[in-house]
């Protein structure tokens, strides 16, 4: 699993604000409004504790600070514990936390201590980036969507698209993964590198840890790309050439989705 780096988070605050603006333009919902709509939940003054975790590769510079920015940006109450790990957990509970946010190298979770709900970042990230595509007004008539990357983020996105009655085309470099997904879900296999079956898409979801996964052949003029994948899967040159609109931010969008999943 790819770990976030401080460089990935360097521009996170601007990216979150800018993506929220784009999501509002595309869907008529602000990001928190869209979360409210899809989860049918709302915040009720919960106190959110962010616990820095030193396990494995340790603290990532500005990870906790980026979570706190997200919490505060959307008008919620939160704090970073002074202690890390188990001592931080104890501090969070003693200070009256309702929700815990914490991540090690394998999992980033939100746990609501009051109602018992727990959320996983990969599932909630796949879901919200997929819902953004489904709620984009100008793209509502065409139900075809291409999903590139069928891992722990891409798979919940596939489930979300199917729930939203989209025609789902899937690709992964791992052909075994493609076969598994095609046998488990009513989706179509689509290999962009196979020129015998060229097809382009207005809606593209990408969740891989690689660059240049979105090739020119799958693009239409003004395609909408919703991609949590880091680094960005489409080149600046193609973005410009096709007037691509792109939803991409390293941490805050997925975090807000996790919080609404546990409210
Ligand atoms: P994963 O390893 O579970 O899945 C990635 C999938 O991409 C794999 O199935 C792999 O075979 C496939 N893949 C790799 N290279 C490819 C290529 N060139 N073309 C097509 N498929 C390719 O990883 P994941 O947990 O699903 O995460 C995916 C990406 O999303 C990572 O970059 C991760 O850092 C990022 N992520 C971002 C956020 C966010 O908030 N922006 C949140 C979670 C994860
Ligand atoms: O507390 C810290 O600063 C660190 N322990 C945070 C670790 C963050 N973990 C990751 O980046 C892993 N990839 C799992 C979470 C996926 C979030 N995109
Ligand atoms: Mg995110």
Q: Between helices 31-39 and 252-262, what is the axis angle to 10°?
A: 40
Domain range summary for the chain, segments of one domain joined by +: 6-120+253-262, 123-249
pLDDT digits (tens, 9 = 90+) for 220-255: 999 999 999 999 999 999 999 999 999 999 999 999
Distance 6 CA to ligand 2 centre (A): 11
Mean pLDDT taken over the chain: 97
Nearest Cα neighbor of 202 from 147, 139, 126, 137 is 139
The whole-number average pLDDT for the span 117-124 is 98
**The CATH number fitting domain 6-120+253-262, selected from 3.60.130.10, 3.40.50.720, 3.40.50.12150, 3.30.1360.40:** 3.40.50.12150
pLDDT digits (tens, 9 = 90+) for 19-53: 999 999 999 999 999 999 999 999 999 999 999 99
State the number of CA atoms in the 13 A half-sphere of 20 facing the CB: 20
- Which residue, judged by its Cα, is nearest atom 38 of ligand 1? 228
Q: Is pLDDT above 80 for 1?
A: no
Cβ neighbours, 10 Å, residue 54 = 11
Q: Is the CB of 258 under 6 A from ligand 1?
A: no
pLDDT digits (tens, 9 = 90+) for 140-158: 999 999 999 999 999 999 9
Say what the ipTM of the complex is: 0.97
DSSP lists the bridge partners of residue 219 as: 201
Distance 206 CA to ligand 1 centre (A): 8
Q: Is the CB of 251 under 6 A from ligand 1?
A: yes
- Which residue, judged by its Cα, is nearest atom 4 of ligand 2? 59
Q: Is pLDDT above 80 for 195?
A: no
Dist. CA 232–CA 211, nearest whole Å: 6
Cβ neighbours, 10 Å, residue 111 = 18
The whole-number average pLDDT for the span 64-70 is 98
């Amino acid at each position: 699993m790819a770990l976030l780096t401080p460089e990935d988070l360097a521009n996170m605050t601007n990216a979150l604000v800018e993506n929220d603006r784009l999501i509002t333009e595309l869907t008529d919902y602000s990001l928190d409004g869209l979360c409210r709509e899809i989860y049918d939940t709302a915040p009720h003054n919960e106190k959110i504790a962010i616990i820095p975790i030193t396990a494995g590769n340790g603290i990532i510079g500005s990870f906790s600070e980026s979570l706190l920015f997200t919490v505060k940006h959307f008008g919620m109450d939160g704090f970073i514990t002074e202690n890390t790990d188990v001592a931080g957990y104890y501090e969070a509970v003693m200070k009256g936390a309702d929700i815990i946010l914490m991540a090690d190298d394998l999992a980033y979770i939100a746990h609501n201590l009051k109602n018992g709900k727990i959320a996983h970042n990969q599932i909630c990230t796949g879901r919200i980036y997929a819902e953004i595509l489904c709620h984009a007004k100008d793209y509502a008539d065409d139900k075809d969507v291409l999903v590139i990357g069928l891992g722990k983020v891409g798979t919940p996105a596939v489930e979300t698209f199917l729930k939203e009655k989209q025609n789902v085309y899937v690709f992964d470099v791992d052909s075994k993964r493609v076969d598994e997904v095609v046998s488990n879900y009513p989706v179509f296999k689509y290999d962009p590198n196979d020129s015998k079956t060229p097809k382009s898409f207005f809606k593209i979801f990408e969740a891989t840890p690689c660059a240049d996964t979105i090739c020119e052949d799958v693009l239409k003029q003004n395609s909408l790309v919703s991609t949590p994948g880091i680094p960005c899967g489409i080149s600046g040159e193609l973005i410009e050439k096709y007037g691509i609109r792109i939803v991409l931010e390293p941490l805050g969008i997925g975090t807000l989705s996790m919080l609404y999943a546990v409210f």
